A and B are shown apart, each in its own frame.
Chain A
Amino acid sequence: MNPSSFEYFAPKRIEEAFDILAKYDGEAKILAGGQSLIPLLKLRLTSIPYVVDISRIEELSYIRESHNELHIGALTTIDDIENSASIRGKYPIIFDAASNIADPLVRNRGTVGGNISHGDPSNDMPAVMLALGAKFTIASARGDRVADADGFFIDTFTTALKYGEILREITIPGRGTHEAGCYMKNKKTAGDFSVAGIAVQIRFNNSGTIEKAGIGMTSVNPKPIRAIKAENYLKGKKVGDSVVREASRLVVSESNPSTDFYGTVEFKKQVLAKIAEDAIYMATDRAEEN
């Protein structure tokens, strides 16, 4: 299967990419790792007259820590994230998601920025970014702007990125002393998209009460969303069986899955309820170990 013909550009600087995007007003598409876009082109689910391959813009690939925040360049590959000691140590929620995306070969090409800006409700990084309260730096010819992960995902395959804009960086807020998270997903076969996925990040105070909870969901809604009711419910609580059960019930109440190849609505809700409980316990265990 071959994509239909297109013209190809491989700028080395982000400013060049802006110029090309501007020249082909509305008709050019950005290619990063290509692990979603190339299959779409091959299956002819889409065709694009102008492809702007940004993968040679080296300044967009980095993992840095500064001012207690974590900065990840949008073109950082999923494999690089999986192998980053600082991410694994401080943000296991990101490691969990990275190490379970598709398969190692796809992770060698796929990028974190692509995973986010594709706007696929089955992609794993959006839920993680919602749970962490991440911020996205969005670059364009007009300069940079910053958007919250919350509000970035507008609809299926639609994000707040406008034509001409390129996701530059993902900024993860600093982690509290008693804070940890986890990402869990249930999939039918190795490398497949999930039936359901959940990202949970919890911050406790010194006496073991939840100060803040962030929860994001994958594959159970037309777009990646937070479970706000469950987040609010958990605030001020101590983790125990009845609290976790109620939080899980609230998570499910905020989901809106549809029946498809991956299962019925009922099945997906049961899967979500189970992984929500498991993920809250796991995040709690990890926070206690900190």
Chain B
Amino acid sequence: MENVKIRSRVNGKDIESEVEPRKLLVHYIREDLGLTGTHVGCDTSNCGACTVLVDGKAVKSCTMLAVQANGREITTIEGLSRQGKLHPIQEAFLEKHGLQCGYCTSGMIMTSFWLLRKNRNPTEEEIRKNLSGNLCRCTGYQSIVDSITYASKLMKADETEKEGIMVEQ
């Protein structure tokens, strides 16, 4: 089968590649782009370890073809930190022990990143509902939910700080 040329913006960088049409997005991200922070968990659309953002929406990259990402914007876990500084959600997972083995963590963080962008003050119920496509087999949900709640506070503090700087300037 003929390879197909795709062009997408991955973590803010324009990338052009040639891929086999059957290649799954998660394999393209991990093997072709070397971004191994996105994990393959169940490989059957259940666990959400492979979650990335495509055009701003959290999706399971094991259930999407790389060719379907042509012309789209992809954000992976590697795209969250800024100049070596962890994203507040990552900080929060560290602070609140939001991981045990860590395998599901990048998916948990990407799904929550999507949630917190559209809802800055989610309730515990909203956080839990939003995570229903992400499985943690260490049964660490309580600390994960705590981490996301804490992240929403950190992000709010960040915003207030930025607003303060703007006022000073």
**Set B21, B24, B63, B134: member contacting A109, Cβ < 8 A:** B63
* A267 within 8 A of partner (CB): no
**Set B4, B51, B63: member contacting A34, Cβ < 8 A:** B63
* A106 within 8 A of partner (CB): yes
* B43 within 8 A of partner (CB): yes
**Set A10, A106, A191: member contacting B63, Cβ < 8 A:** A106
* B46 within 8 A of partner (CB): yes
Contact B22 A6 (CB under 8 A): yes
Binds B, one of A68-76, A97-105, A136-144, A279-287: A97-105
Q: Mark A39-52, 1 if CB is under 8 A from B, else 0.
A: 10111000000010
Chain A residue numbers with a CB within 8 Å of B59 are 105, 108-109
Q: Mark A156-200, 1 if CB is under 8 A from B, else 0.
A: 000000000000000000000000000000000011000000000
Chain A residue numbers with a CB within 8 Å of B65 are 8, 34, 38, 53
Main secondary structure on A side of the interface with B: loop
Q: How large is the interface on B (under 10, 10 to 19, 20 to 34, 35 or more residues)?
A: 20 to 34
* B39 within 8 A of partner (CB): no
A103 with B57, Cβ < 8 A, contacts A5-B1, A6-B21, A109-B64 known:
no
Query: With the chains together, A42 CA to B44 CA distance in Å?
Result: 8
**Set A7, A34, A55, A102: member contacting B21, Cβ < 8 A:** A7
Contact A105 B60 (CB under 8 A): yes
A106 with B68, Cβ < 8 A, contacts A42-B24, A42-B43 known:
no
Residues of chain A in range 90-116 having any CB-CB distance to chain B below 8 Å: 102-106, 108-109
Which 8 pairs from chain A and chain B are nearest by CB? A103-B133, A8-B21, A105-B133, A190-B132, A108-B57, A5-B1, A103-B132, A3-B22
